[in-house]
Structure 1
Amino acid sequence: MSSVKKASWSKRNFVYLLGFLVPFLILGMIFAKNQIVPFGDNIYLRSDMYHQYAPFYKELYEKLVNGGSLTFSWEIGMGVNFSAIYSYYLASPVNLLLGFVPEGSILIVMDLLILTKTALAGFACTYYLSKHFNTKSLSTAAFAIFYALSSYMAAFSWNLMWLDCMVMLPFIVLGIESLVKEKKYKMYTIALGIAIFSNYYIAIMICIFAVLYFLVMLFVNATEEKHYYMDRIIRFAIFSLIAGGIGAVMILPELCALGYTASGEFSFPETWINYFSILDMLKRSLIETPVAIFEAHDPNVYCTVAVFLLFPMYCLCDNVNKKEKMGKIALIAILLISFNTNIPNYIWHGFHFPNSLPARESFIYIFLMITMIYEAYINTKTFSKKQLWGCFAGGCGVVLLLEELYQDDLNFNNVYVTLVLILFYMVLIIMDYNKILYKQISAYLLIVICAAEAFINSSEESSYKPTTYSAYLEDNQAIEEMVEKVESEDTGFFRIEKLNRKTKNDAAWNGYKGVSIFSSMANAGFTKYLGALGFEQSTNAYSYYGFTPFTSALLDVKYVISDKMLEDMERYTLADYKEDQNKYLYRVNYCLPLGFMLPEGFEDNLSLDGNNPFSIQNQFAELATGITDMFTYLSASTSGKTVTIDVDEESDVYVYVTTYVDSISYSAYNDENGFVGSDSFSGLEHRQIVHLGKMPAGTSITVNTSDNDASTLQLYAYNFHQDRFEEIYQKLEAQSLDVEKYDDNSVTADIDAEQDGLLYTSIIYDKGWHVYIDGKETEYTSIGDALMAVPVTAGKHTIEMQYYPEGKKAGRVLTIASILILAGIILFEKKKKGKAGEEENENAEEVLTEKYELTEGNSEEREEINPEAETVPETGEEENAAESAMESPEENPEDEIVDEIARAVVKENLEK
């Protein structure tokens, strides 16, 4: 019996299994082709997945395994709101399984997640097509391949936190249809709730589309039912709000955190701008079109070249509901306009312009297009041969027109592989039309062609580019051993930084408290602060590069990791090394603790304006200690792209290039000693202080750039005075914070203030912090909207700082309430249906009883009544009983009515 059930289940769900397995196998073959682990020494770790997601996954892994807090992390960017990182990058429920995998396999698990989510996207699309068109045809799995392996997936699959929303989209669309047609709400609410919870950002785009699609469905399925529109609109609004409430635990803390980022500012476009023509977008539907990742606007819209053949058929098909056709074509037009114009583009992306990764909502266009061309495909037999060949000729004509118009952009494969595949699809349609092949053979042949097309396109050079697996891991063990050793010996609070980094998030990957970060959640105030001091910074990133001895001390950087031995023994002391791997750990001799006292009013007097970081550092030091001229100006003359700096006395030279260039080089000569030194520096496009080194008196330094975009080179050159810096350091260190204990989201420390003043901390300003002085909560302020500062009175105090993200408590309450409300509605509905069913059965039984009582004395009438209609058989032959009951001859009209009720009761019981 169990084997029969198993076979039956497999048969019923075979098409769904196929929808999952085919994309999984195709992408697996592409991974094998690209020698991705376990097929070689490569790993699919592209772009932000390399620089951001892998380190953040490692940080999540450490927290899950070691029981760390999910609200805050010291390992990322000086200490950040980890709830915000989690909501943006890590909220997919499946990520909680990371705690059960070996530490060394995190990158492999990430690739496996991409494989699995790609396959799930195929399953979801198959499920939608099957349910929407009421078919279990294998063709649903064939067309679902195009959704799972579209150009969107080839371009952006490394954004694995987006993929959950791709998986949920078909269920959300199916849920909207059920809500409008049948007033069912569960699928829509749960699927949208999961999407919002998993990644609120992509869910914004889905929500916009959900509103538009709901309006189309409302229009398409309109009936004469009383209150039709009001009833559906209210239901849609209520269950959309419940879905949003399910994700509130992620949304509310994220909204609060976004207020501190560059994304917190809104600037709505004032004029409409057109990016390109419709034909420009259409050419991106050709096979092997390079994916657009870092381009400004090009949308990834390719799903299959069958679009050129089947979309015209959809437009001409009489079997498609006319209102639905109008609505879906209108949605396609809206999406194309959104890719092509600035204001819709701005709105779709959450009221922001995307920083590269264009048209992030194009997966919605792809899904909608697939549903339309699939409907055309299953209705091809309603066309005449003339119409079919006309659509074929028109599709091929458009492809050839694109070749003519864009011959400089297109290659042979783009055009002629597209034409060959269109021909294959046409031949398959004609063979099916003429019933040349068995239906099953035709379906499998379709899957083979679709899979081949997806493989060809996904194998294109710009898709699924890997990186070397061993290279990403090569220095892990050495660094982590050094960090573990120093943290076991030095138990205080301090930060570590790399002088030669792999990514700006190396601290999260290697498990130490660092300064640098690259994330959309980077604090904008602190980013601006570091930029003013001469550190490298950009819209969503900042780093330790550009430090000076003074600014390094301000950030509590006590150790640095270098790939080579350092010559500056005045500022560094070797603490550990792994010579076989060229890794050296140095203790920084001048490091200020987590906090120290500053004079009252410091925060009001410090100005971060201007583009001279040396001047701002001098100002900071003077306001804090009264000591002036830590840096002094060196004269420099500019001639085109060359600057000459004259050093009159022995100097420790630092420069800050104000021209936007990628690299500079210098050479230094001295009249007495001749050649002094030379070096080059790259990665300066975001501007940062550069240390040229110590130069003897009488040295002439020539600085130049080979950057072709620059016509001139402008810079500031300054001499750093070590003796004055040491005086400043000693004054600040004398009244510093003594950290007694700390954990993931709290710090307890002591301070002995000589007079009333301001406690500076190297903790990023965030209203999630609560500060207690001697057990009493106190107000705190900020230094330049960047760092937390606490007013402290003279004397000895115990300072406690505790962190809990803004919006987290309200978000939890809303999420729990929304889940309970949804569960309550479901239970209430179930109970209501149960009672209604019981009442219906009771009424039917009463009628039956009356009927049989009335006929009890009439033997002829009793003989006409089929006794099998009175009760439901218990022998397992229910279907025969039902048929007998329904076929029993009746002559009396009253008996016919009663038997009609009897049949209804039998049918209902059989269904139960």
Structure 2
Amino acid sequence: MKFKINSYIKKHLLLLLSFWIPVVLMLGYFIYRKMFPFGNSSLLTVDMGQQYIDFFSFFRNTLLHDPSNFFYSFNKAIGGEMLGEFAYYLLSPFNLLFLFFPGKSITAGVMLVTLLKYGCSGYTFGRLLKKQKVQSGALVPVFATIYSLMGWAIANQLNLLWMDALVFLPLIINALLNLLKKRHGVSYSLWLGLMMISNYYMGYMIALFLVLFFIWVETDRFVSVKHFFKDTALFISQSLLAAGIACLVLLPTLFSLQSSKGEYTTSVIHAKIEYPPLQMLSKLLVGSFDFKQMSTGLPNIFVGSFVLFGFLLFFLNKNVKSKTRIVSLVITAFLILSLCFEPLDLLWHGMQFPVWYPYRFSFVVSFWMIYLAAINYQHSLDVSATKIVLLALIYAGIIFASWMNLKKLSFVSKETLICSTLFATATLTPLLIHPGEAKKNLFNKLLLLLLVVGAEMLTNAVLSLNNISYLSQKEYTEPTAALSSDSRSLKAIDSGLYRTGQTYSRTKNDGINHDLNTGSYFSSALEKSIPDFYGQLGNPDGDNYVTYSNGTLISDSLLGMKYFSTPKEASEITAKDQQHKALTPLTIRPELQQYDQIRDKSLTKLYENPYAATLGYSANSALKNIKLPNNDPVNYQTAWLNAATGTWPTTKYFRSQNFNEVVFQNTDKTVNLTGSLLKKKNKKEPAQVIFKFTPKTNDPYYLTFGPGLEETNVETFTGSHPMYHYGTFRNNVILNVADHSKNTEVTLTAKFKKNSLFLDNFVLYQLDSQLTKEKLKQVKQKSWHVKKINNRYLTGQININNNDQIFATTIPYSKGWQVKIDGKKVPAFKLQNSFIGTNISKGHHTVSMKFTPPYLYTGLLITTLSLLLLAILEVRHYKHFRAK
């Protein structure tokens, strides 16, 4: 057994090193940074902490507890299809490891998966070099380490779902080269198909790069025009077969994209250079990444000085055919232009500008540079003195250009310039030394290069990642524990289908993490109609997120927000729970006093909304044709309730109120607040406006305001406490500022953060709670008594009292839903440009709804046929081979 192990290690030593060197280097860094489970920090930062970690928990819950989540989930905002979300975020085979990391330990799972992706990237690239005989010996793990720890990988470590591209790309390239050599091979179609399934977004970028790589290979191996066309036909057919294999995922996802990311496709393209191209050179230096680079940065193309020098030398290498070098230069020019020219940049990103993380395709540029450098060093590591001087001058030019941009580029510092110069010098030195034929001298040279390369790549990782802050393990686990506890309590109280509002949160994806239908969500694949609806309703929204933080009695009840979870103030936490820090509120909701408190937990309170409807109700047919107001949440909610109850347009629930007193400090006074632009008198002094009013009733009071009052412009207070509300929004929002405050003065303060403040749609309203509750009770009494079989199949009973009624839901409209009344399929239509509705007759009915992702069965058929065709081709090839 010991002999077999030793024999295996000796045979596969280079690939083992290719895997383990990156893993050990990054593990050492994680331990140094005390990342959990080695300390109190974590790898959670930006989207990893705000988005992906919740998706990983959702993935685990779906596989272990509720597979119907794979197709549809009410945890997604107010409901939405999930196959597109899985295709974008969760189909990586590595994610299966999260099944072994429940609860707070999932942060350790994130570290394990991250390390495995680093290691597997090194392994697959080393395997490519060995199989294609591009490199052998110690240089295999050298290049593998550079590839797995390239600048793109370090910068996008937090985008864990994209790192599969680094693992799959060398496998696909190796399979393509074998396909073109042997004129046969199923592995190319399989690996490319699996990449498309794992992450179609990165797969699309790889597919574009494969076209360039195919051209390069055909140029290098050109025999005849006839041979070229045969290879082209083979390449296209096998690539289409790969797409066919992935159709089970791609077709439903394509339909999903039409209502989500597809809605934001850029229609106007500017033929412009996006930034001074010479600034790109600074990204070749050590530590060329920081937080600012995430949002509007330059492409991440750091590959280390050894590769940079080898890449440059490739174009001077006479051992490489002239035509190959010329085409390589053309492709390189195209790739460089793609990194700064808007039309090409858009092409690589599917005709959409990235929201943060620009130039996401730059990993293929780095692969290209590393692969050409490996070819250059294929024959010898010896470099002439003339070329060394040339390389030194070029690198000095890069250092000088970066130094000139020292004040413009936040990631460039004197330290990074010095480190880069030292590593470049340390790399050039062994290249200049020619050890002759002695194996010992050559071994020493290779060992020195490996040490220099390892040190340079690790230094880049340390300097880059040290520029980013991370969540502590406690910052993740404490609110997560409270949310999990609330979820368990609510399920013990009520096992039905309902939505749950929250006035505290960890992220907008708390719902999918804890199986709570919170109404909030953050995803790049969010359907456009959902944020559009939230914007009309008076809640914060963006292109890829919604937050149900600004509810009212009306919106809570019509949307079926049956329960609410709120954090206790520090003074309310008992002595035995004092070791836990009070949870930070997301928003203020004084009107929850109108609801019934049902649980008093250690850190939270749970309330039940007695006026909440279910997800379906009997509504007046006026709701079908009503034209709802735009960007006016008060009138939108009024019109919705009136149309649903058949009292449109006569009944008013909100009444505008005047402030008793407005105090202007260091700004001009104005009588008409709404639409006023207030400016500082003295720009050097602080300015604020204080609004005072005394409610005459115990009704809820609401304030509406526009984007001029978002958190970048103003700091708001209720009395001496912060006025908690979600700080970023693009439409007018509505906020509950008082309830049960009769004859008690309420003070609202707005402190300027800039020199001016725009009071857009700034109006105070009183809600007639008695009248509102009467109307809401009518809706609740006519609700659909829904029974949730699973997330994609609902059924229940409903009574329709009049013939002028329709069956209305607050389930987002999608062609995937099929509605049946008393077992008969009925056509559905869109209500409020958002929801599903159907016509229905008077009487008692059973209404059933079933969701099937559009094109799912078509995709399954194409995938099955593609795999069958692949199997037939393999069998034919095997028979032909046996016959020969």
Q: Distance in 1 between matches of 2:407 and 2:308?
A: 19
Matched with 2:309 is: 309
Does structure 1 residue 175 correspond to structure 2 residue 175?
A: yes
Aligned residues: 824
Q: Is the 8 A contact 1:612 1:716 kept in 2?
A: no
Name the stretch that deviates more: 814-823 or 265-274: 265-274
Contact 1:600–1:758, Cα closer than 8 Å, also in 2: yes
Is 1:745 aligned to 2:792, yes or no?
A: yes
* Corresponding residue of 1:222: 222
Aligned: 1:684 with 2:727: yes
Contact conserved, 1:661 with 1:709, CA < 8 A, in 2?
no
Distance 1:754 1:67, change over 3 A: closer
Which residue identity is paired with 2:427? Y
Q: What amino acid is aligned across from residue 39 of structure 2 in structure 1? A: G
Confirm whether residue 693 of structure 1 aligns to residue 734 of structure 2.
Answer: no
The structural deviation recorded for 1:825 is 0.7
- Distance in 1 separating the partners of 2:720 and 2:175: 69
* Alignment CA distance shift 1:332-1:477 (3 Å): same
Q: Distance in 1 between matches of 2:810 and 2:95?
A: 31
Cα–Cα, structure 1 residues 705 and 689, in superposed 2: closer, same or farther, change >3 Å?
Answer: farther
Which of 418, 421, 441 is the equivalent residue of 2:420? Answer: 418
Larger Rg: 1
8 Å CA contact 1:598, 1:759 repeated in 2: yes
Q: Deviations over 1:72-120 (max 9, x none)?
A: 2222222221212211111112323443554553221122111101111
Residue 586 of structure 1 corresponds to 607
1:165-216 residue CA offsets vs partner (Å, 9 max, x unmatched) = 2111112222333333432433322221111110001111001111121122
Instruction: Within 5 Å, give how 1:7-406 maps onto structure 2.
Output: 7-69=6-68, 70-224=70-224, 227-291=226-290, 293-380=293-380, 383-406=383-406
Counterpart of 1:690 in structure 2: which amino acid? L
User: Are 2:763 and 1:716 aligned?
Assistant: yes
Q: Does 1:444 align with 2:447?
A: yes
Which aligned pairs between 1:794-813 and structure 2 lie closer than 5 A?
794-813=842-861
Matched, 1:762 2:783: no
> Partner of 2:685 in structure 1?
none
Cα distance in 2, alignment partners of residues 400 and 435 from structure 1: 38
| Contact 1:44-1:465 at 8 Å conserved across structures | no
Alignment CA distance shift 1:294-1:717 (3 Å): farther
CA 1:474–1:814: 2 relative to 1, 3 Å: same
| Alpha-carbon distance change, 378 to 832 in structure 1, aligned in 2, over 3 angstroms | closer
Deviation at 1:764, TM superposition (A): 1.4
Cα deviation for residue 430 of structure 1 reads 2.2
Change in 2 beyond 3 A, CA 1:666/1:264: closer
State the partner residue of 2:526: 522
Shift in Å, 1:526: 2.1
Number of the residue aligned with 2:596 = 573
Q: Distance in 1 between matches of 2:133 and 2:106?
A: 40
For residue 516 of structure 2, give the secondary structure of its aligned residue in structure 1: coil
Compared CA separation, residues 634 and 776, structure 1 to 2 (3 A): same
Contact 2:534-2:546 at 8 Å conserved across structures: yes
For 2:517, which of 506, 513, 516 is the aligned residue?
Answer: 513
TM-score for the superposition, normalised by structure 2? 0.88
Q: Distance in 1 between matches of 2:691 and 2:122?
A: 62
Tell me if the contact between 2:590 and 2:737 (Cα under 8 Å) persists in the aligned partners: no
> How big is the shift at 1:776?
0.5
Percent identity reads 23
2:580 corresponds to: none
Q: Which moved more, 1:141-150 or 1:130-139?
A: 130-139
What secondary structure, in the 3-state scheme, does the structure 2 residue paired with 1:512 have? coil
Other-structure match for 2:457: 454
Cα pair 1:496 1:512 within 8 Å, conserved: yes
Q: Cα distance 1:158–1:569, how it changes in 2: closer, same or farther (>3 A)?
A: closer
Q: What is the deviation of 1:326?
A: 2.0
Higher alpha-carbon deviation: 500-509 or 324-333: 324-333
Distance 2:481 2:744 in 1: 46
Q: Pairwise CA RMSD of aligned residues?
A: 2.5
Instruction: For 1:190 and 1:76, locate their aligned partners in 2 and report how far apart those are by CA, in whole Å.
Output: 32
Distance in 2 between the 1:472 and 1:331 partners? 45
SS of equivalent to 1:752: strand
Give deviations 1:520-569, integer Å, cap 9, x for gaps.
Answer: 12221122111101011111111111111110111111111111268656
State yes or no: 1:775 paired with 2:823.
Answer: yes
- CA distance in structure 2 between the partners assigned to 1:391 and 1:133 by the alignment: 27
| In structure 2, C-alpha distance between the alignment counterparts of 1:295 and 1:740, rounded to whole Å | 44
Q: CA deviation at 1:765?
A: 1.2
Structure 1 residues 7 and 677 mapped into 2: Cα distance closer, same or farther (>3 Å)?
closer
Provide the rounded CA distance (Å) in 2 between the counterparts of 1:686 and 1:429.
56
Q: What letter is aligned with 1:727?
A: E
Shift of 1:603: 2.5
Residues 536 and 275 of structure 1, relative CA distance in 2, 3 Å threshold: same
Measure the CA separation in 2 of the matches of 1:360 and 1:495: 36
- Alpha-carbon offset, residue 332 of structure 1: 2.1
1:622 aligns with 2:625: no
Who is 2:618 aligned against?
597
SS in 2 for 1:460: helix
Q: How far off is 1:777 after superposition?
A: 0.8
Deviation per CA, 1:392-439: give whole Å up to 9, x if none: 333234323432454664312221211111111111112345568522
Is this contact kept in 2: 1:185–1:239, CA < 8 A? no
Classify 1:679/1:615 alpha carbon distance in 2 versus 1 (closer, same or farther; 3 Å).
same
Q: Quickly say closer, same or farther: Cα 1:747–1:196, change in 2 above 3 A.
A: same
- 8 Å CA contact 2:819–2:850 kept in 1: the answer is yes
Give the gaps of 5 or more residues in structure 2: 570-588, 659-671, 680-688
Partners of 1:243 and 1:127 lie apart in 2 by 22
Cα 1:386–1:475 change in 2 (3 A) is closer
Letter in 1 for 2:870: L
* Residue pairs, 1:887-898, within 5 angstroms: none
In structure 2, the partner of 1:884 is none
The equivalent residue for 2:537 is: 533
Superposed CA offset, 1:571-616 (max 9, x none): 222211222xx2211112321112111111412213242x221121
Question: Is the Cα–Cα contact under 8 Å of residues 245 and 818 in structure 1 kept in the other structure?
Answer: yes
The residue type equivalent to 2:451 in the other structure is: V
Please state if 1:548 is matched with 2:548: no
Please, which moves more after superposition, 712-721 or 751-760?
712-721
Q: Partner amino acid for 2:518? A: G
The answer to whether the Cα contact below 8 Å between 1:478 and 1:578 also exists between their aligned partners in 2 is no
Structure 1 contact 399–415 (Cα < 8 Å) conserved: yes
Amino acid in the other structure paired with 2:750: N
Secondary structure at the residue paired with 1:502? coil
Stretch deviating more after TM superposition (448-457 or 290-299): 290-299
Partner residue, 1:864: none
- Whole-angstrom CA distance in 2 between matches of 1:710 and 1:112: 49
Contact 2:339 2:345 in 1 (8 A): yes
* TM-score where L is the length of structure 1: 0.86
In structure 2, distance between residues paired with 1:391 and 1:491: 69
The answer to whether the Cα contact below 8 Å between 2:149 and 2:461 also exists between their aligned partners in 1 is yes
